[in-house]
Structure 1
């Protein structure tokens, strides 16, 4: 028998049925015995990868974060930068995602933002079982076709 919690007029399966918080005891299926905890960094990596897959997203991160991230990526052991521009809040059953993005010139920001939300929510919910309550985007820049990635450096080399 499935237990249900009722909150605000909606009924949904008890947490014990979601797979994140398991049941215990001999009557419980083996796959539900125990608790699964998903770290913030895991959700941030999934969200970052999912956002980058959307056509029209040039990069993630605000200007200074991109510059520092580019330097850190060149240093051995500095990290891949997948989570640059991604902030998440992860609870027991829900997650919220904030993204700083750079879009390509000429794309519809509204359409790209919608596609990013669809992709991020789908990937995070499919891979973690967490409900994504919101995906907030801040468009920090527009990448122009003739801009170089290193244009933030200086004029003299």
Structure 2
């Protein structure tokens, strides 16, 4: 992902994270070009995470340890899942690259689901941010078998 120019490595007026769009100011300029918009990396991570989770055949995101820690964190935070778990992004001024760790459902062709995930992520990120997504790297961390319990359901059999 080294082909992306990061705003953090740019000039002194560049933000530390995210994408900045700068416009012209003054009378006679279009309203949409007045001012600056900054998009944080965490925003792109959430968009990519949501787009990935919407693809049929994706069971969850994150590697083994991330899923385990995430299940604990989700319980502490009131059951709200962290949508950016398993997602890393690198955001430049005009481009973004996305890395995903996914768990797929057993029986789903991994090549097909990878193509569907790439399409979903690219469409969502480019549509919502205007960034060009230069790559979506997918690491299949696990396959969820039909008889396996979810990490989030590990206490389901205990009396509370």
TM (norm. structure 2) is 0.79
The equivalent residue for 2:112 is 111
Who is 1:55 aligned against?
Answer: 56
Distance of aligned partners of 1:88 and 1:79 in 2 relative to their CA distance in 1, 3 Å threshold:
farther
| Cα contact 2:22–2:35 (8 A) shared by 1 | yes
Q: Is the 8 A contact 2:67 2:151 kept in 1?
A: no
Distance in 2 (CA, whole Å) between partners of 1:94 and 1:64 is: 30
1:49-88 superposed matches below 5 A: 49-76=50-77, 80-88=81-89
Deviation of 1:66 after TM superposition, in Å, equals 0.2
Residues 92 and 78 (structure 1), Cα distance of their counterparts in 2 relative to 1, 3 Å cut: farther
Structure 2 unaligned residues grouped into runs of 5+ = 1-19
Q: Shift of residue 150 of structure 1?
A: 3.7
8 Å CA contact 2:71, 2:151 repeated in 1? no
What TM-score results when the alignment is normalised by the length of structure 1? 0.80
Report the equivalent of 2:143.
Answer: 142
SS of the equivalent of 1:25 reads coil
Query: What is the total number of aligned residue pairs between the two structures?
Result: 137
Name the SS for the 1:37 alignment partner: strand
Matches of 2:29 and 2:144, distance apart in 1: 53
> Which whole-Å CA distance do the structure 1 matches of 2:73 and 2:121 have between them?
25
| Contact persistence 2:94–2:131 (CA under 8 A) | yes
What are the equivalent positions in structure 2 for 1:4-83 lying under 5 Å apart? 20-76=21-77, 80-83=81-84
Residue-by-residue CA offset, 1:16-53 (whole Å, 9 max, x unaligned) = xxx93322232320111111110000000000000000
* Partner secondary structure for residue 36 of structure 1: strand
Contact between 1:20 and 1:129, CA under 8 Å: does it hold in 2?
no
Cα deviation for residue 67 of structure 1 reads 0.4
In structure 1, runs of 5+ residues without a counterpart are 1-18
Alignment partners' CA distance in 2, 1:56 and 1:80 = 18
Larger radius of gyration: 1
Aligned-pair Cα RMSD in Å: 2.3
